[in-house]
Chain A
Amino acid sequence: MVWEEKQRNRILARANLTEARIRERNKKLRRAIIGMLILGGAVILVDQATRNRGALVPIDFKDQAGTVSNWQRIGFVKSIDMPSADVVVDEVEWKGMAVGERRAVVMLLAAYCAAQNQKPDYRLTIKGNVAQKLLASVDDKRIIVK
């Protein structure tokens, strides 16, 4: 009888121990899940925050007139004085652009103005709409993009 009681107690103690171990393991797993979720969220947040915004305006060199009228429609190009090739653009959007995109805009506008004016050389002046500051200029010698 005593032996049986001892055996029962031993079994119960072992079961309790196993249960405690399982509980501890589940607790660790839950912590790991929360940690991984936080890590995953942080990775996505950092990726989104550091991701390059890319192009801000559409550019199609095959349809220059269409692209320029689209820019006028969305408000990026404020005005174009065709004979003098003076263009006024949205300064805020210009500042948000990468250097490469600014250059592409300058190239397209210079080519568009040259085609409209029927001149072989590219000449262009781009100014901001707020301070009327010179943002870019093109002549037969050089291209300045600020």
Chain B
Amino acid sequence: MGQQQLLLLILSSIVVSMATYTGVRLSEIHNQEQNRDRLQTELIHIYIIATEYKMKPKSFAGGSGSYTGFELPNAYATEPGVSYWVGPSDQTLEMFASGSVTGSDGVNPVRVTFVAPSGSLQYQFAVAN
């Protein structure tokens, strides 16, 4: 093999390695973002269910103006690969979701937190990994 062919081979190997590295990183980031988005959507669904529960009177298995007593719906509790935690307080609702894709630290799964403060229908998300 001539010197020129060898140099071309080295150059193409470097280019291919760089492209592979970039592709893997981009797909990793994309997967994490997609999983976080999915968790956020699911948390909004749970929030809607929790708000329904809060608005219902106690005679209709509701909270009569309080989140206290709200439990995670069965469909979410048994979802494979994903885990949710709901912390209902009297007027605030805290939720935590852990996804199925490895997060930014490269060890633990992606995590999202959700807080619905009292007296407002606005909620806040924060990425925890």
Q: How many residues of chain A are within 8 Å of chain B by beta carbon?
A: 42
> Nearest-CB distance from A116 to chain B (Å)?
14
Contact with B along A87-129 (1 / 0, CB 8 A): 0000000000011110110011011000000001110000000
A44 at the interface (CB under 8 A from B): yes
Main secondary structure on chain B at its contact with chain A?
mixed
- A122 close to B89 (CB less than 8 A): yes
B residues near A121, Cβ cutoff 8 Å: 68, 89-90
A65 at the interface (CB under 8 A from B): no
Q: A residues 54-78 with Cβ under 8 Å of B? A: 54-56, 58-59, 61-62
A17 at the interface (CB under 8 A from B): no
- A104 close to B14 (CB less than 8 A): no
10 A-B pairs in the complex with CB atoms less than 8 angstroms apart: A33-B11, A53-B104, A54-B103, A55-B111, A59-B128, A100-B112, A100-B125, A107-B85, A107-B96, A111-B85
What is B's interface to A at a CB cutoff of 8 Å? 3-4, 7-8, 10-11, 14-15, 17-18, 21-22, 25, 68, 83, 85, 87, 89-92, 94, 96, 98, 103-108, 111-113, 115, 117-119, 125-129
What is A's interface to B at a CB cutoff of 8 Å? 22, 25-26, 29-30, 32-33, 36-37, 39-40, 43-44, 47, 51-56, 58-59, 61-62, 98-101, 103-104, 107-108, 110-111, 120-122, 138, 140-143
